[in-house]
């Protein structure tokens, strides 16, 4: 009898709740949290890195500590490698790159051997330092250029010394000025002589054994920029 009365009371309360528009609160199932579900928020994309990037376009390229042809070589980079651009020389001929292997994590390369991508308007411009003064050398041989007389010491027999005004000298695949450029050599470098053209205007030199070089395979260079060993 008491059980029947209790059921009647519960049924009456449920009916009263439905008629009054109340919302029944269903207790959470075991193991479920009663906290409200979090509303998903859109994620903001991280800003793109808009720094300029340089891609090396030659087989091997020397990295120097200053934007000068005569500056010390401190590292080397290879074709296809990409580096972040840190600065550009005031004359536009050199680009400073972020290179981990270089002292201080940076070095300079010739701008003609890299391609740039990205904005460079905000890139730092660095003044080109004055070229160091060349000291007097031992006078044992004489090479005459169109502008001045330069006294240099000749290399050993069978070798040739490159003598220029500081600009690089082209190495070509054949002994003529129209032939393909296969490398470059620089003032003060010495190479073994392999052959001299019949007219004496061209000299075929050996390649460099250095890991970082612009003359890996050797080729023909103009004889007027060489001092031949005696």
Note whether residue 34 is domain-resident: no
pLDDT of residue 125: 84
Condensed to tens digits (0 to 9), the pLDDT of residues 8-35 reads 665 665 665 555 554 444 455 444 444 4
CB 96 within 8 A of CB 106: yes
The CA angle 40-44-48, to the nearest 5 degrees, is 160
pLDDT of residue 6: 56
* pLDDT averaged over every residue in the chain: 77
pLDDT of residue 39: 35
Note whether residue 134 is domain-resident: no
Q: Are 149 and 222 within one domain?
A: yes
Compute the chain's Rg from CA coordinates.
38
**What value does the mean pLDDT take over residues 107-131?**
83
For the domain that residue 88 is a member of, what is the CATH number?
A: 2.30.30.40
pLDDT of residue 31: 47
pLDDT band at 45 (very low <50, low <70, confident <90, very high): very low
Note whether residue 115 is domain-resident: yes
Alpha-carbon distances of 167 from 69, 70, 146, rounded to whole Å: 7, 9, 14
Q: Are 204 and 155 within one domain?
A: yes
Q: Which structural domain range is residue 152 located in? A: 141-228
The helix, strand and coil proportions of the chain, stated in percent and rounded to the nearest 5, come to 10, 35, 55
224, 186, 112, 201: CA torsion to nearest 10: 20
Cα distance between residue 93 and residue 110, in whole Å: 6
Q: Are 170 and 114 within one domain?
A: no
pLDDT of residue 186: 92
Q: Are 152 and 116 within one domain?
A: no
Q: Are 150 and 215 within one domain?
A: yes
Task: Give start and end residues of each alpha helix (H) in the chain.
Answer: 2-19
Alpha-carbon distances of 217 from 111, 168, 170, 174, rounded to whole Å: 23, 16, 13, 13
Q: Are 121 and 187 within one domain?
A: no
> Rounded to a whole number, what is the largest CA-CA distance in the chain?
134
Query: Is residue 71 scored above 60 in pLDDT?
Result: yes
Note whether residue 3 is domain-resident: no
**Beta bridge partner(s), residue 124:** 87
Q: Are 152 and 185 within one domain?
A: yes
Note whether residue 2 is domain-resident: no
Note whether residue 200 is domain-resident: yes
Q: What is the DSSP string of 161-199?
A: EE--SSS-EEEESSSSTTSPEEEEE-TT-EEEEEEE-TT
Q: Are 158 and 191 within one domain?
A: yes
């Amino acid at each position: 009898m008491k059980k029947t009365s209790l059921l009647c009371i519960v049924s009456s309360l449920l009916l009263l709740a439905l008629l009054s528009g109340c919302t029944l609160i269903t207790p959470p199932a075991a193991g479920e949290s009663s906290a409200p579900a979090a509303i998903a928020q859109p994620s903001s994309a991280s800003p793109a890195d808009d720094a300029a990037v340089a891609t090396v376009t030659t087989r091997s390229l020397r990295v120097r500590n200053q934007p000068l042809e005569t500056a010390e070589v401190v590292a080397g980079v290879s074709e296809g490698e990409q580096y972040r651009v840190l600065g550009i020389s005031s004359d536009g001929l050199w680009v400073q790159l972020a290179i981990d292997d270089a002292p201080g994590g940076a070095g300079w390369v010739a701008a003609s051997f890299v391609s740039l991508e990205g904005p460079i308007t905000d890139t730092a411009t660095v003044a080109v330092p004055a070229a160091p003064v060349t000291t007097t050398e031992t006078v044992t041989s004489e090479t005459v250029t169109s502008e001045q007389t330069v006294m240099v010491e000749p290399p050993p027999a069978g070798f040739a010394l490159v003598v220029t005004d500081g600009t690089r000298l082209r190495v070509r695949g054949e002994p003529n000025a129209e032939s393909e450029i296969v490398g470059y050599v620089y003032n003060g470098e010495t190479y073994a002589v392999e052959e001299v053209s019949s007219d004496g205007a061209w000299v075929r030199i050996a390649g460099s054994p250095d890991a970082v070089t612009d003359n890996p395979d050797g080729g023909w260079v103009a004889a007027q920029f060489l001092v031949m060993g005696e």
